Amino acid sequence: MNKHFPMSRRGFLKLGGSTAAVASALGASRLEAMEQELGGKDFSPVTGKLREAVPYTCMVCNIEDGGIAYVEDGRIVKLEGNPDHPGNRGKLCAKGNSGFLHTYDPDRIMTPLLRTGKRGEGQWKRISYDEATTLLAAKLREVIDRSIKANDPAIRNEIVFKWGRNRTGGGIQRFMGAMGSSAMVGHTNICESSKKIGLEPGWGPDIESADFENTKYALIFGGNVTETAYFHNPNAQRLVDGVVGNKAKLVYFDPRHANTAKIADEWFAPFPGTDVAIVLAMAHVIMNEKLYDDAFIRTWTNVTPEQLVAHLKSYTPEFAEAESGVPARDIRRIAREYATTKPATTFSYRGPCKHVYGSYQEAAIQMLNVITGNIEKKGGYCLPRGMGYGQPSPKPPGGKVPSILGAPPAYPLAGHQVSTHMPYQIMKGDAKCSVLMTYYDNPAYTYPSSHVWEAMYKDEKLIPFFASFSPYMSETAQYADLIIPDTTYLERNDPESMPSDLRPWLGIRQQVIKPLGNTQEWRDTCIQTVNKIDPDGTLGIKQYFNFKNGEEWVRAQFEGIPGLKEDGGYDYLKKNGVWPKYGKIDPVTGQIVDKNGDEVPAEYGLHLKELSAAAMDGASVEANGAIKKGGKTIGVRIN
């Protein structure tokens, strides 16, 4: 029986009758309000009262869809998609819909905990955030003082930060930059760095945006769009729109008969990790049968069609059949269809890139789009559109000395860190760690060789002080000396932007409800810790955290965004959750439409835009025409 509403059957019948009366009194407007067209409103089915609606950005996965949380009597009772959000267009996935269970998880850590027994023994004492930040500040200050005394900035790298899901809008990097430490280790190398490394050298950005809804032919390798693939909620909608509304053909390669196979016109099950053989054979057919886009290859790549024909000579469909098990005749037929149906696109997030030679597989799949000239076309394979938010000035200078943690010099091509090496580097004495901080991270459970991480955490000689910001107890947090819990994502502030639509957007995460129990968001913990490390500002650290609280910090990150201030600035985002508003989302077609019901088109052909003088400032042009800045490719010289 529900402890809040003890009820007999008789009571239930009485309530049922009165609820029906309320419903009928509210009439048709109640029903209409439940339609997406009037999204953003919700009513209690018991009292009929309008629920408070607070926009937020989801963080159950890394897609960062926009939602509206409905609050009744101070409690979040329901989450729905934000109907004004261009990315997820009013819809959340099942995980996103149930996200408020994170907030009300009965096993949440509701106050800072100080270890009292042996490490990992499970003996804790509840303390206040004031006590917790005082202790953390003292440990950090000890390293900083030692570094100043020895005049050795490398000592700062003994302050180590390891994160799993970091959606702090650069907050952790700012904090570590202020500490003067470069020892930051993310999780990307056990996640998607193989995809990023496959794309970045030739493409610039680390991902693609497949324009599924406008395509006529989608060739998907291992990206299970309708179930799990990256951007799956936004992309599943667009793929279905493309297949059903635009009558696109969908060909799907996946060793499993995954959900996406169910909506495909054709499904092939290659041997795992052999997609690249199929892709190279398709490229072989396209080049040999002169189905390629000659002008695009000559203008936008550093090879000629003749060189490609020669390079692909041995990758015949028969070779691919032997490698993958997919019949050569099908590979030939699909290559011809794909090259002659316009527009077309591939998608592969995260399929073959997670198998052996994943980066090469990813680069080969992208090549199909390049040789057929489907780049940056409506319905084609497009550059991702993100919208940057700012980092308030003054900005901390960052660590002066590189740290080998996460970026071992022995692996110069392994960008995006090599976090799997971290415990070995510390255990071998190649890196020293005096203070370890972890954030939304659980390597003792989720990493390969998790027992090695566990052994490192247990050893107080290797890790003399370990602070975790985890909101939950975990296989890793159990070894911390101090747990300073962050809130859940519905009780905190962050700026957001992800390329989940071809129209770029900025989103907000805000406190839908005040943090539960005795918890506070990480940004507040960070500000308090810095104020205790550098109370009078003489270390020069405090100036970077001159914010009253986490919300003021995020507000400062949205300042100076062109056009946002005119629309109402930060307060617009608090009210609407996402900016800009491109139009209204048609609940039937899913398209963003203007007042006349006409689609608001996305912008295509971004690669044709000339780089501005500001973008070129500090850039260099390499012999092959690639324009580089800050280690990244930002453009291509075409004349």
Which residues of the chain form contacts with ligand SF4 (CB under 6 A)?
58, 60-61, 63-65, 88, 92-93, 95-96, 232-233
Backbone angles phi, psi at 141, to 5 degrees: -65, -35
Nearer to ligand SF4, 109 or 225 (CB): 225
Burial (CB count within 10 angstroms: exposed 0-12, middle 13-18, buried 19+), residue 434: middle
User: What tokens were used for 620?
Assistant: 């260099």
Q: List the one residue out of 75, 69, 20 whose CA is nearest residue 40.
A: 69
For residue 605, the minimal CB distance to ligand SF4 (Å) is 28
Partners of 161 in the β-ladder: 184, 437
Is the omega angle on the peptide bond into residue 397 within 30 degrees of 0, that is, cis? no
Least CB distance from residue 207 to ligand SF4, whole Å?
15
Amino acid at 180: G
Give the C-alpha separation, 76 to 70, whole Å.
6
CB nearer ligand SF4, residue 233 or residue 497: 233
Shortest spacing between CB 239 and ligand SF4, in angstroms: 14
Nearer Cβ to ligand SF4 (186/234): 234
Q: Which is nearer to ligand SF4, 92 or 261 (CB)?
A: 92
CB of 590 to ligand SF4, least distance (A): 15
Token pair for 48 = 């009929």
Q: Which residue is nearest to ligand SF4 (CB)?
A: 96
What distance in Å separates the CA atoms of residue 309 and residue 198, rounded to the nearest whole number? 21
Our CB check for ligand SF4 shows the closer of 233 and 359 to be 233
CB of 81 to ligand SF4, least distance (A): 7
| CB 551, CB 511: distance < 8 Å | yes
In the complex, minimum distance from the CB of residue 614 to ligand SF4, in angstroms, rounded to a whole number: 33
Closest CB to ligand SF4 among residues 96, 485? 96
- The sign of the dihedral angle between the CA atoms of 331, 333, 334, 339 is positive
H or E stretch including 159?
Answer: strand 159-163
The CB-of-231 to ligand SF4 minimum distance in angstroms stands at 8
Tell me the CA distances in angstroms from 559 to 433, 493, 553, 571, one per residue in order: 36, 15, 10, 11
- In terms of Cα–Cα distance, which of 157, 245, 231 is closest to 192? 231
Comparison of 81 and 317: residue with beta carbon closer to ligand SF4: 81
CB of 57 to ligand SF4, least distance (A): 8
Tokens of 88: 């997820």
In the complex with ligand SF4, the residue whose CB is nearer, 389 or 453, is 389
Q: Which two tokens stand for residue 354?
A: 């997670």
Q: What DSSP letter does each residue of 80-116 carry, written as one string?
A: EE-TT-TTTTT---HHHHTTHHHHT-TTB--S-EEE-
199, 206 contact by CB (below 8 A): yes
At its nearest, how many Å lie between ligand SF4 and the CB of residue 406?
26
In this complex, which beta carbon is closest to ligand SF4, that of residue 60 or of residue 144? 60
